[in-house]
Amino acid sequence: VPDIALKKADEVILVDLPPADLIERLKQGKVYLPDNAERAMEGFFRPANLTALRELALRRAADRVDDQMVDFLRRSAIEGPWATGERLLVLVGPDPLSEKVVRTASRLASGLNAPWLVISITRPGATVDSGRLEETMRLAERLGAETRRVTAEDFVAEIMRTARRENVTQIVVGRLPRSLFARLTRRSLPDRLIGQAGDINVHVVSADVPLDARPGFNWRTRSNENALEAIGFPLAAVVAITLVGKAITAILTLQNIAMLYLVAVVVCGVVSGRRSAVFAALLSFVAYNFFFIQPVHTFAIDKPHEFFALFVFLAAAIFTAELSGRLREQAERARSQEKATQALYDFSRKLSGAARLDNVLDATAAHLYAETGKGTALLTPRQDGELIIGTVWPPDLAIDPTAMMAARWAFEKSELAGFSTATLPQVPWQFRPILTARKPVAVVGLLLGENGPLRPGDEQIVHGVLEQAAVAIDRARLFSESARRAALEESDRLHTALFASLSHDLKTPLATISGAATSLRDLGDKMEEPTRRDLLTSIEEEASRLGRFVANLFDMTRLEAGTLKPNLETIDIPDVVDGALQRVRKVYPGRIFDVSLAADLPSIEADAHLLGQVLFNLLENACKYGGEGNPISIFGRLDGNEVAISVTDQGKGIPEKDLEKIFEKFYRRQKSDGRAAGTGLGLSIAKGFIEAMGGTIKAESPAVRRRGTRFIVRLPVAREPRSRDSAR
Amino acid sequence: MSEGRILVVDDEPQIHRFLKPALSAAGYDALQAFTAAEAERLAATSAPDVIILDLGLPDKDGKEVIRSLRTWSKLPIIVLSARGVEAEKIEALDLGADDYVEKPFGIGELLARIRTAIRHREPATVSMSRFDIGDLSIDLAKRIVSRGGERVHLTPKEYDLLAHMARHAGLVMTHRQLLVAVWGPAHTEDLHYLRVFIGQLRTKIERDPSAPDLIRTEPGVGYRFAE
């Protein structure tokens, strides 16, 4: 059975029996057929092998049970205050041994009841097999470790610095098998650590399985990238310097030609890196010898002191090459770091401007795509917790149902899923949860399956971006929650306004009707005839007021419910204006209405009943706010392919800031004596009706001579305009 | 001869339009006020016997008018209020309003309230020593309650509660007012006391405790003792 099966198995059951028993069973033919068993016993099933296998199986099972135990403890929230006495620092790398190191450390940590910190150190700019390292780090996290990724030049110094800072008492490190040469030339990391550890205990975990990969730099891939530059540039530089040197020595005697070659070395180091500089140093050594040291044009050297000087030059050149190369590397690193910082800064500025969740998601996805070149998807949970796609960048990418499953997994388990992970690795997307302190707030998907994994260094960028995105998403969620609450409050406020309006506008007429009717009944015979008549009139008026209010409410309800279907027909404006005026005159007898309709007014496409109601509402409004005794004007004219009808009063007018508000439901202006008047529905119904008929309505104030308000209704002219003559 | 002077405070002209003739027909002088400021001025200058006050006034909350009137006057105040806003009524009553009428109302109901309010204003009511209603009689001096000539045995608290309500017969009493009067200001929230004692009183004095007509419930507001 391959290891992977064991690793992925949901459950592992260990069936154990001593080797002697197994051989016994083999002999009885219970495992293989007799002749196969014979061969097996001779070949593989020897007691020593079986014992080794048994130990392996027991240990694997123990590892698993240990993981589950720690997992369980974590899940049951046995967080508690850990004993503070011991603290472990565990060093891992991209090597297969690291998994064993983590497991060993986990056992050690739970035995000591100590917190443990797992760090992986890489050299700046180094390419590592990040897949395996990630897996190891995740394992560590799952087993309860704190993990950290560090970059440093000097591993030992960085480790010791971290150890001292974190009050570490024990260090766990793996020892990789090393070649004889390596063992002779350099001390291994564990050895150096032990040398510097002082009072910190160092546990060294050794490999017991053949390791299939070795970590470290991969020179070949690096040199492939800029092979031309690394070889061509030094070559060109040395040739140039040689020519210059020749030219100068032709004119004057120069003692230190070697200095010129150092210039070439430095230039190569700064421009194309350390290896190029070393190469330049070697080339310079050869060229200097060949072209300038007597006898010229041979590699032979006459004078012993020149021989000595030549090698001093070589040493100096290589040393210079190293220095200049390192200088360049540091400059490059600083530059790329600055670029990353700048990008992150730009991103955070973009985010700070985005209040809505959509904007945050879009900004994050676009930024990740721009930084990594990978398709990016962001998924967020809906109100009901169901994960949905928030944004995909570039927008033409698709996420299939299997990928969605991986995304959900990432969200629910708060771990990586999809491409090159343990969960649904066949999916081209890799999903990572975006976590805040509270909970996962979103999932980011990176399309790694199509054009390869992230570039080295991008991992850090993604990490930084996601950290910021998490905060921004969380903030946007809170923001939208508070906006929703505000909307609820607003609708609450509307309901309160409706309630107040209902209780006022329904109850006052009702109180009048009921009061006047009972007064007439109980006290009518003690009243004068005109008084009785006035009470009866008031009953009639209040009943019709009530009727108008109920009709308004009904219209409003139809508008709100969207069930209003205007019955559009070709109508003539003078007829509608006349109808509305007749109704208004009943309510406001004695008002003066100035009607002026253009003679060439064409027919319009409208609903006669609705338009009549709109005009009535506008006229009623004008009567209420226009001031007693002031005339109200009605104008009608053709304006392009629209007919404009205006109703103008000569009241106080409306402050400019309220001109939009007057069309809102239940917005009421105060009358001159401070009393609220009307239902607050008339104008909003007028607006609703006009818009339903495809027209517009607006208010202007002041209308005439700094006084009054003008309402202008515009409606489209009928498609086949009839002249008034042919209509008649 | 006028039965009394009544100040009507309401911002709706329609209300005045029928109240004025109705009140004069019933023998009262009706004064009209449309705003709180007007109401306060008229209350101070024209010595009305009763104020009918609508709580929704344009310049000031009607409850504020009650508060300021109560700082200097015991003038009976009847509040006009809409149904369904019990909290507002309770607040007005606890501020010192004497009674309320729900809009819309019949004129008979309003006139009855006005009569009760005027009667309670007279000093005689305060020193009343005996109260009779139907076959129930309460001797406030001797603390004896009898029904149809037969002695009704009440606990001291039951008696206190009954006597307090009888003194304000015809007027609505809020839960809070009754609790303060009988149990003291520390018990204003103990509504269940009141429920229990009202229930006990009803079984002892009502003809049919399930359809009480002596102690009537004003839903959400309090109780009103018949007169």
B198 min Cα distance to partner chain A (Å): 33
Candidate from B12, B19, B58 with C-beta closest to A508:
B12
User: Within 13 Å, how many C-alpha atoms sit on residue A548's CB side?
Assistant: 22
Q: What is the mean pLDDT of residues B157-180?
A: 90
Residue contact A514–B105, C-beta within 8 A: yes
Residue A726 has pLDDT above 50, yes or no: no
- Residue A223: what pLDDT? 42
Identify whether the C-beta of residue A147 lies closer than 8 Å to the C-beta of residue A140: yes
Residue A422 has pLDDT above 80, yes or no: no
Q: How confident is the model at residue B7 (pLDDT cuts 50, 70, 90)?
A: very high
Candidate from A519, A524, A538 with C-beta closest to B14:
A538
Residue contact B105–A515, C-beta within 8 A: yes
Residues 663 through 692 of chain A touching chain B, CB cutoff 8 Å: 670, 673-676
User: Within 13 Å, how many C-alpha atoms sit on residue A594's CB side?
Assistant: 12
**Does any CB of chain A come closer than 8 Å to the CB of residue B22?**
yes
Candidate from A510, A515, A675 with C-beta closest to B18:
A515
Report the side by side order of strands in the sheet with A387-393.
A387-393, A376-381, A440-447, A429-435, A417-418
Could you read off the pLDDT of A2-14 as tens digits, one per residue?
A: 777 776 777 778 7
Residue A484 has pLDDT above 60, yes or no: yes
Residue A242 has pLDDT above 60, yes or no: yes
Residue contact B21–A535, C-beta within 8 A: yes
Residue A322 has pLDDT above 50, yes or no: yes
Q: How confident is the model at residue B29 (pLDDT cuts 50, 70, 90)?
A: very high
Task: Give the amino acid at A2.
Answer: P
Closest-CA residue in chain A for B12? Answer: A508
Q: Distance from CA of residue A253 to its chain's centroid?
A: 68
> Which DSSP string do the residues of A581-622 spell out, in sequence order?
HHHHHHHSTT--EEEEE-TTPPPEEE-HHHHHHHHHHHHHHH
Residue contact B107–A515, C-beta within 8 A: yes
- A82 vs B81, which has greater pLDDT? B81
A679 min Cα distance to partner chain B (Å): 14
Average pLDDT, chain A: 79
Closest-CA residue in chain B for A543? Answer: B14
- A313 vs B173, which has greater pLDDT? B173
Average pLDDT, chain B: 88
A9: tokens are 């198995």
Q: Distance from CA of residue B101 to its chain's centroid?
A: 10
- Residue A501: what pLDDT? 64
Alpha helices in A524-572 (DSSP H): 529-561
- Residue A225: what pLDDT? 46
Percent of chain A whose pLDDT exceeds 90: 6
Could you read off the pLDDT of B91-141 as tens digits, one per residue?
A: 899 998 999 998 888 899 999 999 998 888 765 545 567 888 888 888 888
Residue A168 has pLDDT above 50, yes or no: yes
Residue contact A503–B35, C-beta within 8 A: no
Contact list, A509 vs chain B (CB under 8 Å): 14
Residue contact B14–A674, C-beta within 8 A: no
- Residue B110: what pLDDT? 93
**Does any CB of chain B come closer than 8 Å to the CB of residue A514?**
yes
**Does any CB of chain B come closer than 8 Å to the CB of residue A533?**
no
A676 min Cα distance to partner chain B (Å): 7
Q: What is the mean pLDDT of residues A57-64?
A: 76
Q: What is the mean pLDDT of residues A310-334?
A: 83
Q: What is the mean pLDDT of residues A664-690?
A: 69
- Residue A22: what pLDDT? 79
Residue A42 has pLDDT above 60, yes or no: yes
d(CA A478, CA A476): 5
Identify whether the C-beta of residue B207 lies closer than 8 Å to the C-beta of residue B213: yes
Q: What is the mean pLDDT of residues A400-410?
A: 87
Contact list, B35 vs chain A (CB under 8 Å): 674
B154 min Cα distance to partner chain A (Å): 41
Residues contacting residue B193 through CB under 8 Å, at least 6 positions apart:
B179, B183, B187
Q: How confident is the model at residue A82 (pLDDT cuts 50, 70, 90)?
A: very low
Q: How confident is the model at residue A220 (pLDDT cuts 50, 70, 90)?
A: very low
**Does any CB of chain B come closer than 8 Å to the CB of residue A359?**
no
- Residue B202: what pLDDT? 92
Residue B213 has pLDDT above 80, yes or no: yes
Residues contacting residue A461 through CB under 8 Å, at least 6 positions apart:
A340, A343, A344, A371, A372
- A344 vs A697, which has greater pLDDT? A697
Could you read off the pLDDT of A440-480 as tens digits, one per residue?
A: 888 889 888 777 777 767 777 788 888 888 888 888 888 87
**Does any CB of chain A come closer than 8 Å to the CB of residue B26?**
yes
d(CA A613, CA A552): 9
Residue contact B26–A523, C-beta within 8 A: yes
Specify whether the backbone of A19 is left (phi greater than 0), alpha (psi in -120 to 50) or beta: alpha
Q: How confident is the model at residue A74 (pLDDT cuts 50, 70, 90)?
A: low
Closest-CA residue in chain B for A516? Answer: B18
Q: How distant, in Å, are the alpha carbons of A575, A601, A637, A647, A715 from that of A595?
A: 12, 13, 12, 9, 18
Q: How confident is the model at residue B32 (pLDDT cuts 50, 70, 90)?
A: very high
Report the side by side order of strands in the sheet with B130-133.
B130-133, B136-139, B144-147, B150-152
Q: How confident is the model at residue A184 (pLDDT cuts 50, 70, 90)?
A: low
- Residue A271: what pLDDT? 78
Percent of chain A whose pLDDT exceeds 70: 85
Q: How confident is the model at residue A217 (pLDDT cuts 50, 70, 90)?
A: very low
**Does any CB of chain A come closer than 8 Å to the CB of residue B11?**
yes
3-state secondary structure B43-90: HHHCCCCEEEEECECCCCEHHHHHHHHHCCCCCCEEEEEECCCHHHHH
- Residue A71: what pLDDT? 67
Residue A218 has pLDDT above 50, yes or no: no
Mean pLDDT lowest among A551-560, A564-573, A670-679 = A670-679
Q: How confident is the model at residue A181 (pLDDT cuts 50, 70, 90)?
A: low
User: What count of CB pairs under 8 Å joins A to B?
Assistant: 86
Residue B184 has pLDDT above 80, yes or no: yes
Residues 99 through 118 of chain B touching chain A, CB cutoff 8 Å: 103-108, 110-111
Residues 193 through 222 of chain B touching chain A, CB cutoff 8 Å: none
Residue A227 has pLDDT above 80, yes or no: no
Q: pTM for this one?
A: 0.47
- Residue A222: what pLDDT? 43
Residue A224 has pLDDT above 70, yes or no: no
- Residue A48: what pLDDT? 75
Residue A302 has pLDDT above 90, yes or no: no
Q: Distance from CA of residue A212 to its chain's centroid?
A: 38
Burial, A263: exposed, middle or buried (Cβ in 10 Å; 0-12, 13-18, 19+)?
middle
- Residue A192: what pLDDT? 83
- Residue B27: what pLDDT? 92
Q: How confident is the model at residue A727 (pLDDT cuts 50, 70, 90)?
A: very low
Contact list, A670 vs chain B (CB under 8 Å): 58
| Most confident of the following: A136-150, A166-180, A335-349, A510-524 | A510-524
Instruction: Of B210, B217, B214, give the one whose Cα is nearest residue B225.
Output: B214
Residues 84 through 113 of chain A touching chain B, CB cutoff 8 Å: none
Could you read off the pLDDT of A618-668 as tens digits, one per residue?
A: 998 888 888 888 889 999 998 888 899 999 988 888 888 778 778 877 676
- Residue A672: what pLDDT? 44
Q: How confident is the model at residue A723 (pLDDT cuts 50, 70, 90)?
A: very low
- Residue A724: what pLDDT? 46
Burial, A54: exposed, middle or buried (Cβ in 10 Å; 0-12, 13-18, 19+)?
middle
**Does any CB of chain A come closer than 8 Å to the CB of residue B87?**
no
Q: What is the mean pLDDT of residues B15-35?
A: 92
